[in-house]
Structure 1
Amino acid sequence: MWQKIWREWDWTLVICTVALIALGSVVIGSATHINREGLSFDDLVAKQLLFFFINMGVVIGLQWFDYRRLRSWGRPLYVITIVLLLAVMFVGTSALGAQRWIQIGPITVQPSEFTKLLMIISMAGMIESRVNKLDSFKSLLPIVIFVGIPTLLVFKQPDLGTSLVYLAILCGMLFVGGIRMRLVQIIVGAAVILAPLGWFVLQEYQKQRILVFLNPNIDPFGAGYHIIQSKIAIGSGMILGKGLFEGTQSQLNFLPENHTDFIFSVVGEELGFVGCVIALLLLFVIIYRSIVIARSANDTFGMLLATGIGSMIVFQVLVNVGMTTGIMPVTGIPLPFISYGVSALTTNMISVGLLLNIAMHRKKLMF
């Protein structure tokens, strides 16, 4: 098996993943080197790297497992997803106005991060038997209900960002599953018409974020503060950045959540345009490799699995970079592999492990 891993692993995917986590660790260290609520940057970086090595062991261990066995795990994993999301509602801990976490000893876990991958596996198993048969609303209804229940549970936390990730994953899988374009046109049209009604189901802070997205200056010291400081940070970095530990917005704590949701702003300020391009290029290569692996998968389940993982990463990158640069509303979605967070890191690493597993069983295609 070790020889097989050495010969058949997608080393481009591995190298880009390690490079992103190394970049993220350096930027986390720079963003949080001043003590923050009792935790120094050494604690945060050490914890991130510790779980990277633990997850790297899991990634390697996954290669002894045939991903095709996950096909029969869809329903049990779906039940686990629902149980985890219900557990957050009843025994979860609250922070920043949302109840999304469960405290397990010294570790704070965000179940909605893990459920992204669980839902990818569950959806792949469900859609596999319906590939090229998605030609009516009747054929779509079971899938919509299947995805809709956990989506509503996450939205209730409230966590609009993760609920949108579920929908992005679903859209990617339906696209490769051969959904009829006429249905897509009808659904998109209906969504556009009904979109204004969505305003009435949003939380007050979510409405404020949308208004601030349209005009950050309506509340510059409140809801608009994050995006204003983020744009200042990225813009002030110019071409080469101010250097690690030299960014005024992040080092002087003007930039909130600078090691998690707004870490791309720190990259822009301290490493400049060049640093942003490098980070985005590495993320692009990972997304591209997921597409290649999906295209060359030996079976439909593997294709859907790789597509779901790629869709998850694409959406999170677009939303995170979009919100930090002011072209999308602020949403609590971390930047994959770079933002600090044990739950997100674990989900992304295991996702890479599954991509590598699919790649080892794929057809021999040249790209």
Structure 2
Amino acid sequence: MHVPDGFINTPLSAVAGVAAVGAVAVSLRGARRELDERTAPLAGLVAAFIFAVQMLNFPVAAGTSGHLLGGALAAILVGPFTGVLCISVVLLMQGILFADGGLTALGVNITVMGVVTVVVAYGLFRGLVKVLPRRRSSVTASAFVAALVSVPAAAAAFTLIYAVGGTTDVPIGKVLTAMVGVHVLIGIGEAAITALTVGAVIAVRPDLVHGARGLSAPLKLLVGGELVDAAPASREPAPVAARSTRKVWGAGLAAALVLAGIVSFYASASPDGLEKVAADQGIDKKVEEHAAADSPLADYSISGISDGRISGGLAGVVGVGATVVVGSGVFLTVRRRRGQQQPAVVATSARTGEKETA
């Protein structure tokens, strides 16, 4: 659903750009509360993984394909504020390096693919988790539903933006029907990918899934015919090895590299949902050439390499590497700023009675 240049007029593109900047600024502040020493490096990995999976277009209807948007997956794994930043990093890398998604339309893409998907998905996810039994399977099921709904919601948001600032005069009712219809089908694929990924991480390290925090219900004891909360058991601090995320990080990066470098060759070559609807409804009449069309990585291939498999695979590997480096840099910086801004703890010394700063 990458919107190219020329679909939306300049004034509305500028407004969307300002809105996207505001959303990113708010997310930077919110991410400080979500990220810690373990999850900050993983957030960069989540961005790289989403980049890789977005290269895997899957067929959804005759002559149409779809790909992961990733807002629901990012929000559930690392938190909604960090999720918006993850999608923003992915879109920035795609636009600058691979000429995918217009540069003047970057604000539109961040708003539709990042903000809308995250807000809709995470809001629905939290609501479902609260009413369903407190089990890991409930988190996976909630992730499936949230991801499914987030995709047509993004399609509807794009249609609304196009109704206000579209560059061609087309029947908006037909555009809305076509966009939502095909993206419901794409949403099924998005839901499956999201649920499988969230379920896999929960099975290995549930403590790293933001949406699964606080999942365990307090232990109940039957006392005098009534259920009461058991006293929490004292726990020794977990050893450093148990808290390490290196294995998860390494496995996730390896998976992203394999998906982008090898599996992407077998992705569907059919146009995605937005491209198909745009061609059918005449939205693309004023589409403009991408400013980075001459990039050596444009269209997810490396110029000068004639073998499509090698060219596309290497481009995917470069994209994963660039995304994980940029994403990790952003999130580690946010994490360090959180540490710098934490207030000092003032305590009274039991021995001297004087105030001490920790």
Q: Name the structure, 1 or 2, with higher relative contact order (CA <8 Å, separation 6+).
A: 2
The two structures have a TM-score, normalised by structure 2, of 0.25
Q: Which has the larger radius of gyration?
A: 2
